[in-house]
């Protein structure tokens, strides 16, 4: 797909199903993430691929984490949480890994990891796949971070769900750049 067409048409797909990206598509998507803008070339990120049965393990980790905060959860609430990680054939966990640098504060490193996440979305869309960036309380839960093996200087920037789009693509809302862009000084 033409790059501008892909950028202008990108949208999130909450309904995703198998098949996930094939090996070549996944390689392209991963390479796109690594092209994110990155002050001082710190590569302040890493990514975990969660697919197949590992998605169930992640679901169980979510339940264990949620139980720490809300031990009174019902069986139905636990099942709902378990089901979240099965919403797509592949989840890429985007992790910001802060490096010590005199001129690059943590916020810039988070932004760089966010740009990598956006590149994942754009690449998936350009390849005709669906994707959606999600966080929610699980992205910030210490138990989830521990369970995924994050270190002290790391944080989860998002869970990017990827797969084939289920159903019809949504109609995009037209945005007017004039609502957001202005000349300065006015
Ligand atoms: C950092 C971040 C976290 C997000 N977390 C969630 C989430 O947990 N659940 C959700 O429904 N949408 C979440 N979104 C929004 C969707 O990814 C998506 O951008 C939104 O539904 C708008 O759809 P669009 O991308 O097609 O414009 C998040 C977006 C960002 C940037």
**102 CA to centre of ligand 1 in angstroms:** 32
**127 CA to centre of ligand 1 in angstroms:** 20
For residue 12, give the ligand 1 atom closest to its CA: 26
Options 3.40.109.10, 3.40.950.10, 3.40.50.20, 3.30.9.10; CATH for 16-166 is 3.40.109.10
pTM for the complete prediction?
A: 0.97
The burial class, CB within 10 Å (0-12 / 13-18 / 19+), for 4 is exposed
pLDDT tens sequence for the chain (186 residues): 799 999 999 999 999 999 999 999 999 999 999 999 999 999 999 999 999 999 999 999 999 999 999 999 999 999 999 999 999 999 999 999 999 999 999 999 999 999 999 999 999 999 999 999 999 999 999 999 999 999 999 999 999 999 999 988 889 999 999 999 999 999
If one residue of 9, 92, 134, 137 were mutated to test the ligand 1 pocket, choosing by the most ligand atoms within 8 A of its CB, it would be 134
Domain layout of the chain by residue ranges: 16-166
- Angle, nearest 10°, between helix axes 23-33 and 106-126? 150
Task: Give the residue from 88, 107, 111 showing the smallest Cα distance to 159.
Answer: 88
Closest residue (by CA) to atom 13 of ligand 1? 134
Structural contact between residues 10 and 125, judged by C-beta atoms closer than 8 angstroms: yes
- Left (φ > 0), alpha (ψ -120 to 50) or beta: where does 93 sit? beta
């Amino acid at each position: 797909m033409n790059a501008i067409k892909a950028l202008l048409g990108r949208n999130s797909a909450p309904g995703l199903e198998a098949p996930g990206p094939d090996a070549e598509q996944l390689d392209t998507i991963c390479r796109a993430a690594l092209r994110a803008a990155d002050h001082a070339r710190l590569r302040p990120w890493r990514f975990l691929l969660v697919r197949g049965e590992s998605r169930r393990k992640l679901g169980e980790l979510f339940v264990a984490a949620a139980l720490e905060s809300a031990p009174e959860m019902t069986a139905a609430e636990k099942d709902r949480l378990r089901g979240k990680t099965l919403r797509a054939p592949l989840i890429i966990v985007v992790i910001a890994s802060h490096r010590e640098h005199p001129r690059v504060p943590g916020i810039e490193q988070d932004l760089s990891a966010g740009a990598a996440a956006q590149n994942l979305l754009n690449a998936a869309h350009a390849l005709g796949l669906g994707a959606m960036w999600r966080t929610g309380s699980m992205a910030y839960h210490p138990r989830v971070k521990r369970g995924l093996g994050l270190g002290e200087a790391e944080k989860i920037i998002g869970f990017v769900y990827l797969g084939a789009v289920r159903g019809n693509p949504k109609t995009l809302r037209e945005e007017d750049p004039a609502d957001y862009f202005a000349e300065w000084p006015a």
